[in-house]
Structure 1
Amino acid sequence: MQVSTFLWFDGRAEEAADHYTGVFDDSAVLDVQRAPDGRVMTVTFELAGQRYVAYNGGPEFTFTGAISLYAECDTQEEVDRVWANLTDGGKEGPGGSLTDRFGVTWQVMPKALGELLNAAGPDEAERILTALHAMTKIDVQRLIDARDQ
C-alpha cells in the first residue's frame, strides 16, 4: 500500500506538477493520465520522495488554508529559493506560510527552527516564536538574534 496526497485542480494539474517538480530537488513527474479526448486527467509526481496525485477535477472544490504542504529546508539559501519560487504569482502569509499561484498553502520552514526550539529554554522559545510570527519568509539569523536577546 502507498499513501499519497491527492490535490484537486481546476484544469491546472499538469502546470502545477511541472512547477513543483522544478522547485524541489529529487522530484519528477512520474505519470500523466489523459482522457480519450487528450485532456490531462491526473498527474502523478514526486517531490523529494513524497508522492502526489494532481487531478483536474473542475471548479467544484478549491484549496483552503485548513491543510497545507510543509517544506522543511536545510539552509537559509534553500528557504529563500523555495519561497521565491512558490510565492511567484502567489501570496505571502505570516510565519513562513504562503499560498502559491494554484491556491495551495505551504509552510516553508528552516530545519534550524526545530533545532533552536529544542535547545531553548522557555523564555528563549517565547522570543523565537514571537520573532517567527512577525515574519513572512523565515530568516534564521533573526530567530537566532531573538533567542539571544
Structure 2
Amino acid sequence: MISAPLIRPFLWFDGNAREAMEYYCDVFPDSRIDRVDEYPEEDLDEHFRGMAGKVINGQFTLAGIRFGCLDGGPAFRFSEAISFAIECKDQEELDYYWGRLSHVPEAEQCGWCKDRYGVSWQILPADMHALLNSPAQVQAMMGMKKIDIAQLEALTF
C-alpha cells in the first residue's frame, strides 16, 4: 500500500533565500527556520560560481507548514500562476497580513497581492464563499484590491 507523501512547497530565490526565510518567519506566528545548508566555497561548476555561502537547501516552518527553499539564481521567477492562500478569521487579521505582505500595488486585485520577493498571496476571509452569494457581491469583490468584509456583508441579499 502506498502511503500519502509529505507535499512541501519549495521556493526558488535569486540570492535572498535566507532573508526571505527570516522575513516570513517574522510575519507568521508558529514559524521558525529549521535548517540552512550553504553552497560550498569551492568546486562549483560555471553555473554556480559566486554562490558560495548562499542557500543550497533551506528548510523553514510557517504557521506549522514546512517549506523548503534555495538560492538558484535569476533563471526562474515567481508568477501569479502559483499563490499561497491565507484564510483570515476577521478583517483585523486580513489587514495585518495585507500590511505585511503586499509590496507591489499594481499586482493587487481581488484579495491577491505580491510580496517583496515576488511571491503571490491570496489574503481572504475564511468564509469567502459565504460573501460571494450574489452578483452584487461578486462584482464588488472584483473591484477590490484588499478584501473589505463589511462591504461584502452589506451587499447580502
Instruction: Tell me the amino acid that sits aligned with residue 23 of structure 1.
Output: V
* Corresponding residue of 1:90: 104
Q: Does 1:20 align with 2:20?
A: no
User: Does the residue aligned with 1:26 lie in a helix, a strand or coil?
Assistant: coil
* Corresponding residue of 2:50: none
Q: TM-score, normalised by structure 1?
A: 0.87
Q: Please say if residues 112 and 140 of structure 1, whose CA atoms lie closer than 8 Å, have aligned partners that are also in contact.
A: no
Instruction: Tell me the amino acid that sits aligned with residue 141 of structure 1.
Output: A
Gaps of 5+ in 2: 42-52
Instruction: Write out per-residue CA displacement over residues 20-49 of structure 1, whole angstroms, 9 at most, x where no aligned residue.
Output: 111112121111111223332222111112
Instruction: Write out per-residue CA displacement over residues 43-72 of structure 1, whole angstroms, 9 at most, x where no aligned residue.
Output: 211111221111100011001111111111
* Corresponding residue of 1:48: 63
Give the deviation of 1:90 after TM superposition: 3.1
- Partner of residue 36 from structure 1, selected from 40, 44, 51: 40
Instruction: Tell me the amino acid that sits aligned with residue 93 of structure 1.
Output: E
* Corresponding residue of 1:57: 72
* Corresponding residue of 1:131: 140
Q: Distance in 2 between matches of 1:50 and 1:129?
A: 31
Gaps of 5+ in 1: none
Q: Distance in 2 between matches of 1:39 and 1:70?
A: 28
Q: Please say if residues 13 and 42 of structure 1, whose CA atoms lie closer than 8 Å, have aligned partners that are also in contact.
A: no
User: Does the residue aligned with 1:147 lie in a helix, a strand or coil?
Assistant: coil
Give the deviation of 1:79 after TM superposition: 0.4
- Structure number with larger C-alpha Rg: 2
Give the deviation of 1:95 after TM superposition: 0.2
Query: Of Structure 1 and Structure 2, which has the larger fraction of its residues in helix?
Result: 1
Q: Distance in 2 between matches of 1:39 and 1:11?
A: 7
Aligned residues: 141
Q: What's the Cα RMSD here?
A: 1.5
Give the deviation of 1:138 after TM superposition: 0.6
* Corresponding residue of 1:146: 155
Give the deviation of 1:128 after TM superposition: 1.6
Q: Please say if residues 28 and 45 of structure 1, whose CA atoms lie closer than 8 Å, have aligned partners that are also in contact.
A: yes
Q: Distance in 2 between matches of 1:127 and 1:83?
A: 24
Q: Distance in 2 between matches of 1:29 and 1:129?
A: 39
Q: TM-score, normalised by structure 2?
A: 0.83
